[in-house]
Structure 1
Amino acid sequence: MTSSKRHAQIVASLRTKGAASVRELAESLRVSESTIRRDLDVLDRDGELVRTYGGAALSPVAVAPEPSFAVSAENDTAEKEAMAEHAAALVPDDSVIVLDIGTSTRLIARRLRGRPITVITGNLAVLDELRDDDAVRLCLLGGVVRRNYQSLVGSLAEAALRQVSADLVFLSCTGVRPNGHVVDDMEVEAPIKQAMIESAGRVVLVASEAKFPGTGSLRLCSLADVDTLITTAGADPQTLEHCRKAGGKVLIA
């Protein structure tokens, strides 16, 4: 049996049971426990499951599928457009920028058309915005395609980002806590976002007022790591002040 078939059967088994031990999977697939451990490590990195002590459990991403990119895009508002305008204004010519996944970064990309810059991304919607623009040098990260959210994730994307030295990263999130923690609710995305933060000299967080406090339990960074926060008028004032005291600049769209 090929590794891809084993991976598919492991995920199918977890969809049925919710969780399984290494021993159970090894016996059902008739392979060694060491082989199963390697399979689980790969699937964990790709966000297909969550490694547990002695086994694995189904990833929350697979249990409760997130809204598709198309649904998220339908929720674009004038506020998101305004945030994108502020973000694009921060990009100097001849700079190297990283664009995170999400609908807001797609809107930023749209405003960067015709600019002599380099854009690095795992966002396939950004690819669609810039693929025919000769002025922009477009670099696409590798990885596993998440079709429902038009993004590239997994160990290949993380490895590619370790080779990147960018001027700016435009980061999205699902929540900004009052204590200054910037969080996300998708295990498959969090390592990619953290690698993006490490790849860039400056971090620009794009988070509308709905993200204060938002949702999510996976810490990406703190507001002390954010150089500029772009948000909207209804964002929590105390959290914004926390950002300013930590040395960040706050832009209200």
Structure 2
Amino acid sequence: MATERGVRVSTKLRRVSIVNTLLNSGKVSITELAQSLGASEMTIRRDLEALEADGVARRVRGGAISTQSRSYQPPIMQRSSQETEAKMRIGQAAAELLAPGETTILDGGTTTLQMVRSLNPNLAVTVITSSLLIATELDSKPAAKTVVTGGILRNGEMSLIGSAAEDWFNDVNCDSVFIGAAGLTVDKGITEYNIEDTRIKQAAIRCSRRVVVLADASKMGHIAFVNVAPLQVIDLLVTNAPASDGTVSALRELGTEILHV
């Protein structure tokens, strides 16, 4: 695909852009997409056919409408098969940021799960998490001390939510927190699909000295249902999004460290 500047990008990135537009606007026009993405209308039709097959769009006359909502998030095992390569690179880079003796919080999510899988098994760190999947994965890291919060099990996520999980963070002080994001935008900052998950993230952010956000390119410019925190709270962003991305540029102007993978 050629952009307005004549630079060719992959079909995958073009479809990510279409999905983000669908999620934010609820509908897309073939003609408008062809113009904004610098592609032919036939190419856009093929993209929409593929997205309909994936279940994220339904084709209508002249375009498509979203089958998703700002408050809908597929189960974690389904999400683990999406953007796999990007999440692996982000997770590997994030794992290298931990220092021996550090106490960190790991948010429940597919990218932080990749981070845990990349941890050096000999790295002596204390990891606090509300994710049972992450806690299970940490069992293969003998040097890591794993602390699991209390709470109520959230079906489909294998994570703990509720006041018991939130209150747990009120009594601790941590070196860092690594969190994922459903969306990142200049206006809304970090956003999430689920209110209970949002409260856990907010509590974890409050008790951490450094906030690290792990987000692949598909999250840039997307707004999910619940506001988590403004961009100003982010100390470091690990992403595969290009440096020219609007949200990445805004974070850089705020003084946020950006680690591109």
Q: TM-score, normalised by structure 2?
A: 0.69
Residue 213 of structure 2: which of 195, 205, 208 is its match?
205
Instruction: Report the counterpart of residue 168 of structure 1 in structure 2.
Output: 176
Residue 109 of structure 1: which of 106, 116, 130 is its match?
116
**Retained in 2: the 8 A contact 1:165–1:199?**
yes
CA distance in 1, matches of 2:226, 2:140: 36
CA distance in 2, matches of 1:178, 1:198: 21
Residue 153 of structure 1: which of 123, 137, 161 is its match?
161
Instruction: Report the counterpart of residue 73 of structure 1 in structure 2.
Output: 80
Which runs of no fewer than 5 residues in structure 2 stay unpaired?
1-69
Residue 148 of structure 2: which of 133, 140, 145 is its match?
140
CA distance in 1, matches of 2:129, 2:212: 15
Q: Kindly provide the amino acid, as one letter, of the partner of residue 128 in structure 1.
A: T
**Retained in 2: the 8 A contact 1:170–1:203?**
yes
SS in 1 for 2:156: helix
Deviations 1:196-244 (A, max 9, x none): 1001100001111111112313221112110001111347622112111
Residue 248 of structure 1: which of 227, 232, 256 is its match?
256
Distance 1:65 1:182, change over 3 A: closer
Residue 230 of structure 1: which of 232, 238, 241 is its match?
238
CA distance in 1, matches of 2:185, 2:153: 30
Query: What is the total number of aligned residue pairs between the two structures?
Result: 191
Distance 1:75 1:103, change over 3 A: same
Instruction: Report the counterpart of residue 192 of structure 1 in structure 2.
Output: 200
Q: Kindly provide the amino acid, as one letter, of the partner of residue 92 in structure 1.
A: A
Q: Kindly provide the amino acid, as one letter, of the partner of residue 115 in structure 2.
A: I
**Retained in 1: the 8 A contact 2:188–2:227?**
no
Distance 1:122 1:237, change over 3 A: same
Deviations 1:159-210 (A, max 9, x none): 1111121111001111111336111121121111000100110000111111
Deviates more, 1:209-218 or 1:160-169: 209-218
Q: TM-score, normalised by structure 1?
A: 0.71
State the percentage of identical aligned residues: 29
**What is the CA distance between 1:134 and its match in structure 2?**
2.5
Which runs of no fewer than 5 residues in structure 1 stay unpaired?
1-59
Give the root-mean-square deviation of aligned CA atoms: 1.8
Deviates more, 1:90-99 or 1:240-249: 240-249
Matches of residues 51-66 of structure 1 in structure 2 within 5 Å? 66=73
CA distance in 2, matches of 1:252, 1:236: 12
**Retained in 1: the 8 A contact 2:104–2:175?**
yes
CA distance in 1, matches of 2:78, 2:201: 22
